[in-house]
Amino acid sequence: MTYERRYNLLNSKFKELFFPTLLAAIAGNFAILADAFIISAFLGPMNLSVIQSIEPLAQFTNMVYWLIGFGGTILSTSAKANFEEKKANYIFTVSIVSILIISILITVLGLLFPDSFLQILCNSSQLRPLVYEYYKYYLLTIPFLCYFVVLAYFIKTDNFVQLQFRAFLLANVLNVVFDIIFIKYFNMGVGGAALGMAVAYIISVIYISTYFLSSKRTLKLIKINLSKSLSCMKEICKTGFSSSSIALYQSIKLIIINSIILGVFAHVGLVAFNMCCNTLLFVSIFIFGTAQSILPIVSVYYQEKDYNGVEYVARRSLKIAAAFGIFFTLLFTIFPQTILCIFSVSNPSDVPTVLNAVRIFSLCILAYSINFLYIFYIQAIQDIKLSNIITLLNGLIFPVAFVYIFSIIGNENGIWFAFLISELATLLFIYLHSRYKNIKTNGEYSGFFLKRHHDENERMLEYTITASKNEAVYLSREVQEFLSNEKTSVFVSLAIEELLTYILDINDKLDWIDIIVRDNDNFTIISIKHSGIGYNPKVDTNLNSDNIDMLLSISDNIEYSQILGLNNTVITINK
């Protein structure tokens, strides 16, 4: 019988995370879209200028919770992958405490100095009173929104994917309901949309916090001290900055480009640009869901040096992102009126400009989808420098530079083409960098996703077996043959057989088990990964086995962890 790695377990985990995460991303990013849709339907599309003006503040808020949420979850999952449970809990606690302090501070400063904030957000004295109506209630939403999202990111990595999805769904259903109540029945105008969002997230925060009542959770709030917490917070921000800076650069970019477009097109230009932004926001929901699915998986597998597993997930995600990109490019390029119908843009004087803008702007969607996914992938493998460079170029420098250049030239269509050129320039940079790194490292890194290769002196076998005792027996023989030059090969192979047999005995339902054996001059490492009920050889003494006892005696380290709903046992035998 010949064994090979079939990625069934990894594929199953990807599907398990992907669909709920995609739905959670749809729900989580629906709030601003829902506000825009309801405001357009009840108050008229020109009021969308209010949403466009408040967007920089919304993006800044996104930056804050992405900074701590992504940075914290990456470090926490990495700590778990390295069997550091206490460190994972410390990072979790610091993240939750920090997001509460920072988000409350933003709200307080916004309420104390509204004129200063509004001066930055809106340079139109006519529009500013309407913007303030939305702004004052949105500020109240920020602490609840930030806490909600950061906790949601953490509970997903703790395998509470369904709770995360249900919480996002609840928040957005309530947001729509309260929007309609406050705008239509209480006649609160654009401010009613922001108040509806605030009430929705207050209720949803209560629901998602039921996570702390579950006995199945592995993340716990623990006591922290100030000096250590500041150091931890620095690492969280450093790790999360590349993804969160997307929102930071988006805030700055929107302020600059809003001013440029307002000068070229007047208020109809802001309506057109808002439609373009809503188009991209609509697309980014699906790409964001895909990127979020791979983030914890890639982070864990990269820490475990399972580079083939990392590449499998990356390529699978690229196909999905490209499919979404192609679909939405064709949809909004051929049928740009779709987005106009969604947001009730029907003013005869606005429609030609908006249709033209959306049709041209949509050409950037495919490249945008690939770039967005790549940024999250690079962050997951913790190449902080490269990730920061790409987000700066793609999120700020390229789009602002090209829009400014075309505004000077005086080509109105060129302003919308500038976004396509910006995304293509980013793709070109990624390709050139991958080629450069391949040459610089003499092939240690290769391909678009910079796949890292194992040391040429290390032998490695990767197996996927079905939940069958016969396959466990056959596999142990193959492991013995693989380690035939080692004195301990017989004991190791028999111990693996008994470990797998016991795992099968304690699990009624188990489809796949991944076994990776790495061997070099210094050590042999055996990794066993599966879903279901786990088994820790050092703690669980229910299995009386001379072979297991021998394995424990010759092993220099046996570690067990449960992460992403997978049980991982890693046995290290030094030579």
364 is written with which tokens? 């950037």
| 173/105: higher pLDDT | 105
**Tens digits of per-residue pLDDT, 405-457?**
888 886 678 889 999 999 999 999 999 999 999 899 888 888 888 888 777 77
Asked which of 153-167, 174-188, 529-543 is least confident by mean pLDDT, the reply is: 529-543
Indicate whether 565 pLDDT > 80: no
505 is written with which tokens? 């005995």
Give me the pLDDT at residue 138, please.
Answer: 93
Indicate whether 540 pLDDT > 90: no
| 469/181: higher pLDDT | 181
Give me the pLDDT at residue 9, please.
Answer: 81
Indicate whether 387 pLDDT > 80: yes
Q: What is the 3-state secondary structure (H, E, C) of 505-554?
A: HCCCCCCEEEEEEEECCCEEEEEEEECCCCCCCCCCCCCCCHHHHHHHHH
Give me the pLDDT at residue 31, please.
Answer: 64
Give me the pLDDT at residue 465, please.
Answer: 83
Give me the pLDDT at residue 472, please.
Answer: 85
Report the pLDDT averaged over residues 558-566.
78
Number of helical (H) and strand (E) elements in the chain, helices listed first = 20, 7
Report the pLDDT averaged over residues 321-347.
85
Q: Which amino acid is at 11?
A: N
Give me the pLDDT at residue 27, please.
Answer: 58
Indicate whether 128 pLDDT > 50: yes
Domains in the chain: ranges and CATH: 8-440 (no CATH), 459-574 (3.30.565.10)
Indicate whether 553 pLDDT > 70: yes
Report the pLDDT averaged over residues 1-20.
73
Report the pLDDT averaged over residues 173-199.
90
Report the pLDDT averaged over residues 279-283.
83
Give me the pLDDT at residue 1, please.
Answer: 44
- CA distances 310 to 295, 371, 381, 489, 534, Å, are 10, 18, 9, 29, 23
**Tens digits of per-residue pLDDT, 25-84?**
665 566 666 777 787 778 876 676 777 788 788 878 888 998 999 899 989 988 887 778
What pTM does this model have? 0.76
Indicate whether 2 pLDDT > 60: no
Indicate whether 545 pLDDT > 70: no
Across all residues in the chain, what is the average pLDDT?
84
| 147/9: higher pLDDT | 147
Indicate whether 243 pLDDT > 50: yes
- CA distances 28 to 24, 152, 159, 209, 566, Å, are 6, 10, 18, 16, 26
Which pLDDT band holds residue 24 (cuts at 50, 70, 90)?
low
